[in-house]
Amino acid sequence: MIDSKLTARLRDSFFLESMIPQYADNLKTLRGFKFDWSRNDAIWDHVYANQALTHKLNEFGIAHEAEEYNGLWDADTYWGAEGRVIAEVLPFFQQHLEF
Protein backbone atom coordinates (compact mmCIF):
# COMPACT_ATOMS: atom_id res chain seq x y z
CA MET A 1 0.00 0.00 0.00
CA ILE A 2 1.39 3.39 -1.01
CA ASP A 3 1.32 6.27 1.46
CA SER A 4 0.66 9.29 -0.80
CA LYS A 5 1.81 11.90 1.73
CA LEU A 6 5.03 10.04 2.48
CA THR A 7 5.71 9.51 -1.23
CA ALA A 8 5.20 13.22 -1.93
CA ARG A 9 7.52 14.13 0.97
CA LEU A 10 10.19 11.77 -0.36
CA ARG A 11 9.90 13.20 -3.87
CA ASP A 12 10.00 16.81 -2.69
CA SER A 13 13.08 16.25 -0.53
CA PHE A 14 15.00 13.91 -2.84
CA PHE A 15 14.69 15.05 -6.46
CA LEU A 16 16.76 18.14 -7.16
CA GLU A 17 14.34 19.33 -9.80
CA SER A 18 11.56 19.40 -7.17
CA MET A 19 13.63 21.58 -4.83
CA ILE A 20 14.45 24.32 -7.35
CA PRO A 21 11.39 26.50 -6.59
CA GLN A 22 12.22 26.45 -2.88
CA TYR A 23 15.92 27.32 -3.34
CA ALA A 24 15.86 29.39 -6.56
CA ASP A 25 16.88 32.65 -4.87
CA ASN A 26 19.85 30.97 -3.18
CA LEU A 27 20.92 29.27 -6.41
CA LYS A 28 20.90 32.63 -8.19
CA THR A 29 23.61 33.88 -5.82
CA LEU A 30 26.16 31.26 -6.91
CA ARG A 31 29.20 32.54 -8.80
CA GLY A 32 29.47 29.29 -10.72
CA PHE A 33 27.23 26.29 -11.26
CA LYS A 34 28.09 23.58 -13.77
CA PHE A 35 27.25 19.93 -14.26
CA ASP A 36 27.61 17.39 -17.02
CA TRP A 37 26.43 13.93 -17.92
CA SER A 38 27.23 11.24 -20.40
CA ARG A 39 24.82 10.85 -23.29
CA ASN A 40 25.67 7.16 -23.16
CA ASP A 41 24.89 6.60 -19.48
CA ALA A 42 23.63 3.05 -19.08
CA ILE A 43 20.86 4.35 -16.82
CA TRP A 44 18.77 6.47 -19.19
CA ASP A 45 16.95 8.07 -16.27
CA HIS A 46 20.19 9.93 -15.46
CA VAL A 47 20.22 11.46 -18.94
CA TYR A 48 16.56 12.48 -18.81
CA ALA A 49 16.84 13.78 -15.23
CA ASN A 50 19.82 16.00 -16.07
CA GLN A 51 18.05 17.35 -19.15
CA ALA A 52 14.98 18.11 -17.02
CA LEU A 53 17.16 19.74 -14.36
CA THR A 54 18.81 22.16 -16.78
CA HIS A 55 15.42 23.05 -18.29
CA LYS A 56 13.99 23.72 -14.83
CA LEU A 57 16.99 25.87 -13.89
CA ASN A 58 16.45 27.87 -17.09
CA GLU A 59 12.75 28.21 -16.28
CA PHE A 60 13.66 29.88 -12.97
CA GLY A 61 16.38 32.07 -14.50
CA ILE A 62 19.23 30.36 -12.65
CA ALA A 63 22.56 30.87 -14.39
CA HIS A 64 24.40 27.61 -14.93
CA GLU A 65 26.37 25.58 -17.41
CA ALA A 66 25.19 22.11 -18.37
CA GLU A 67 26.72 19.75 -20.89
CA GLU A 68 25.69 16.42 -22.28
CA TYR A 69 28.90 14.96 -23.63
CA ASN A 70 29.32 12.12 -26.08
CA GLY A 71 31.16 9.32 -24.37
CA LEU A 72 31.14 7.08 -21.36
CA TRP A 73 31.75 7.91 -17.75
CA ASP A 74 35.01 6.11 -17.15
CA ALA A 75 38.37 6.77 -15.54
CA ASP A 76 40.13 7.74 -18.77
CA THR A 77 37.42 10.16 -19.83
CA TYR A 78 37.56 11.96 -16.48
CA TRP A 79 40.99 11.48 -14.98
CA GLY A 80 43.36 10.90 -17.89
CA ALA A 81 45.79 13.52 -19.20
CA GLU A 82 43.17 14.57 -21.77
CA GLY A 83 40.28 13.99 -19.36
CA ARG A 84 37.39 16.22 -18.42
CA VAL A 85 38.89 17.15 -15.04
CA ILE A 86 41.92 18.75 -16.72
CA ALA A 87 40.04 20.17 -19.70
CA GLU A 88 36.75 21.26 -18.06
CA VAL A 89 36.67 21.15 -14.25
CA LEU A 90 39.93 22.87 -13.33
CA PRO A 91 39.46 25.74 -15.82
CA PHE A 92 35.92 26.22 -14.48
CA PHE A 93 37.26 26.42 -10.92
CA GLN A 94 39.99 28.83 -11.99
CA GLN A 95 37.42 31.09 -13.63
CA HIS A 96 34.83 31.07 -10.83
CA LEU A 97 36.63 30.56 -7.50
CA GLU A 98 38.35 33.33 -5.61
CA PHE A 99 41.62 32.36 -3.93
- Span 25-81, pLDDT tens digits: 999 999 999 999 989 888 999 999 999 999 999 999 999 999 998 877 666 677 878
- Give the pLDDT of residue 93: 93
Residue 36 and residue 92 in contact, taking contact as beta carbons nearer than 8 Å = no
CA-to-CA dists, residue 64 to 32, 33, 44, 57, 82, angstroms: 7, 5, 22, 8, 24
pTM, two decimal places? 0.81
